[in-house]
Amino acid sequence: MNISKYKFLKYTINGNRLFISILIGIVFICSVSGQTDRQVITLEKNWKFIKADVKNAQQIAFDDSTWETVTVPHDWAIKGPFDKEIDKQTVAIVQNGEKVATEKTGRTGALPYIGVGWYRNQFSLPNFSSEKKVILLFEGAMSEPEIFLNGKKIGSWNYGYSYFYFDITEHILANQPNTLAVKLTNVGLSSRWYPGAGLYRNVRLIVKNKTSINQWGTFITTPLITKNLAKVHVKTKVSGKQLKLVTTIKDADGKIVATNTTETIFDNEFEQNIAVKNPVLWSPENPYLYTAVSQLYAENILKDETETRFGIRDINYEAERGFSLNGKITKFKGVCLHHDLGPIGTAINKSALRRQLRILKDMGANAIRSSHNMPSLEQLELCDEMGFLFLAESFDEWAKPKVENGYHRFFETDAEKDIVNLVHATRNHPSIVMWSSGNEVPDQWGSQGAKRAKWLQDIFHREDPTRPVTVGMDQVKATMASGFGAVLDIPGLNYRTHLYEEAYEAFPQGLILGSETASTVSSRGIYKFPVEAFKMKQYDDFQSSSYDLEACSWSNIPDEDFVLQDDNPWVIGEFVWTGFDYLGEPTPYDTKWPSRSSYFGINDLAGLPKDRYYLYRSRWNTEDETLHILPHWNWEGREGETTPVFVYTSYNSAELFINGKSMGIKKKNNSTPKHRYRLMWMDVKYQPGTIKVVAFDDDGNPAAEKEIHTAGKPYKLVLESDRKTIKADGKDLAFVTVSVVDKNGIPCPTATNQLKFKIKGDGIFKAACNGDATSLEPFHLPTMKLFSGKLVVLVQSNSNAGKINLTVSGNGLKTEKIIIQTKI
């Protein structure tokens, strides 16, 4: 059964890439074309902000004399402090199989996101005339935003993750300041994780002629692709009369490869079929992007011009065979990502997103699932550029609640318009290959839920007939009985590895997606003994073992998913929960304090890889060698005790040596899932010194080796930046990993020294994070303890080209410095 062929391309929200930036008052004005006078104004600086009590919010709404000055994107809650009383919930988490309500203290990160926040800014539009139109665009506002312009309410939106816009033309004051105010209301019991707070994504004004291309009005698909020719189909919605549209397609070097002109318009939409010869196809291995330049003319006068970046590629979902990209069967090697960026919260930052994707790319991941909400536009742009397949998700709730004040309050009135905006804003991104209309919704039971699933899927199909729709289902038996699972284009299973075969037989689609997998829990650099597999294991220090054998009551270790992926072509891939730790949901310690962030991540909250990273890398990264040993070898007091050694490697066999003595050769085998993907020496007795592993190729020849040494006392700091040069734009970040070594340069894996950070020069200290889910140290203060011998310092540029000097010191440690260059 061939479900269908889904083909397509990409779009950028502003429709422009080459900006001329002019500082006018408090905003940046970016013009695509001097002829058309289209401007994109990013309202970024000089915002006034106050967090107010709900009772007095109206009274202070427009008196900002004492308000804080902030830059948007902004998350008002990330600086804390952490407090167990914030959003304390006494609930039974149904998704986790709980039947008895218990007190949850860190479920939403224990950060002060609840309350009313007001933002206020002013802007002027010189030379504004009656021929102009102004669009006010929000790319995300947490949450329930109410928008006021010059004292008048112009609109509101409910969903904090949605992109939305208003035509504010009639409210604009020409040639004088306009006052924009935004009220945001975050109520308690509204989320299952840390949602953030504030204008956490960009706010923009788009000024253009009334005769113009509509907002999100371009839709590009590729209904035909051959080796020699691609048919690029462009739909463009416009406003105006007696119009002509000229679309020019440029390759990645800016060279014109095709042009088409049409004056034929259907209602308010142009349709063009444009031939691109010898197309270069977009893929994770070669993320090649074209640009479509759309020029709208009225009476031969250029009225509007936008740019739409896209990629030519073909996607196909076929029963029994799976997912193919450009004719090649491809498994999703994906991770789920929440929207927070660890120590900087939810305020979007492109350099932080880029770092996440670089880390995942090195691991061999090829796909991202936005969980459980609409992704940022910046994340999609980076996935286009860097080569990641994307599963774009919409909701965590439908009509039935998971939390008391969740999205179910708005589902009946808002779901359709939220989906329409999601699709229209993002449908031209080549990275997006599937939509998700929901995650573990309680509506999985009964016929009404199946009807809702079909209703939502039909909206996606109406707005974008080129991609399939899935839902992350955890109640698989219920969806078999109700018909819910049979309705979906792609049945998505969250966990339930024991039901894959049954679901495959029961559902008609002939394929299964691991929409959420594993949920293994671990703390970076922490190892527990004896080494055994556990579900919901808890320890006195509120950490989880990094031997990667601990999971939750509903979940499993990675190896069980690997078997399903490798042995069944009808299992089209997986999205691991999660790529990075995130704020909130500190399972299995969500009833313990202090514990305020997750343990699920393959990487910790600071973005430092856990051991599990190398298990995935050994299987997913087929280009590079992987050889990783765990645990560390500093176990004073455990001399002579059993201390198993695991090796995660891309090779199939290896030999372990302890202080030069062989512990034998281990080979991967099919006796158990663990033995199939790991090399394990379970009977090793600890003695200080050196662990050495020699890996062998398939012919039995030594191919790689690695050593770990017992470290002495911490002596000096080591600083390593992910980038030596950053942009002097006031936004760019360098992530400096700080670790400790002994006098011989051996890393000290158990160091917990308190460190201090100082910045001089052309930048600021942004934040620090050590990846410890139990730490209550604020991220924004220039001091923090090491965790398992490491932490990360975030350094942010200002607007000056020059140097940033970071100095890190700690009691009893040799102080170290690092210089980061900044350039315009």
Cα–Cα distance between 349 and 339 in angstroms, integer?
Answer: 11
Q: Which fold has domain 635-709?
A: Immunoglobulin-like (2.60.40)
Specify the domain boundaries for CATH 2.60.120.260 within the chain. 21-209
**Model pLDDT, residue 62:** 66
**Model pLDDT, residue 59:** 52
List all residues 6 or more positions away from 513 whose beta carbon is below 8 Å from its beta carbon. Answer: 332, 470, 490, 491, 492, 493, 571, 572, 573, 574
Residues of the chain with pLDDT under 50: 1-34
Active site residues: 440, 516
**Model pLDDT, residue 316:** 97
Cα–Cα distance between 449 and 443 in angstroms, integer?
Answer: 4
Work out the widest C-alpha separation in the chain, in whole angstroms: 88
**Model pLDDT, residue 32:** 36
Write the single-letter amino acid at 454.
K
**Model pLDDT, residue 33:** 37
The CATH code of the domain at 2-8+214-314 is: 2.60.40.10
**Quick one: three-class SS letters along 185-216?**
EECCCCCCCCCCCECCCCEEEEEEECCEEEEE
Which CATH class for the 331-620 domain? alpha beta
List all residues 6 or more positions away from 643 whose beta carbon is below 8 Å from its beta carbon. Answer: 529, 631, 635, 684, 685, 686
**Model pLDDT, residue 18:** 26
Which CATH class for the 716-823 domain? mainly beta
Specify the domain boundaries for CATH 3.20.20.80 within the chain. 331-620
Specify the domain boundaries for CATH 2.60.40.10 within the chain. 2-8+214-314, 635-709, 716-823
**Model pLDDT, residue 175:** 86
For 697-788, strand residue ranges (E) read: 702-709, 716-721, 725-727, 733-741, 754-761, 763-769, 783-785
CATH 2.60.120.260 fits 21-209, yes or no: yes
Tens of pLDDT, residue by residue over 292-348, are 999 999 999 999 999 999 999 999 999 999 999 999 999 999 999 999 999 999 999
* pTM: predicted TM-score of the whole model, two decimal places: 0.94
**Model pLDDT, residue 27:** 36
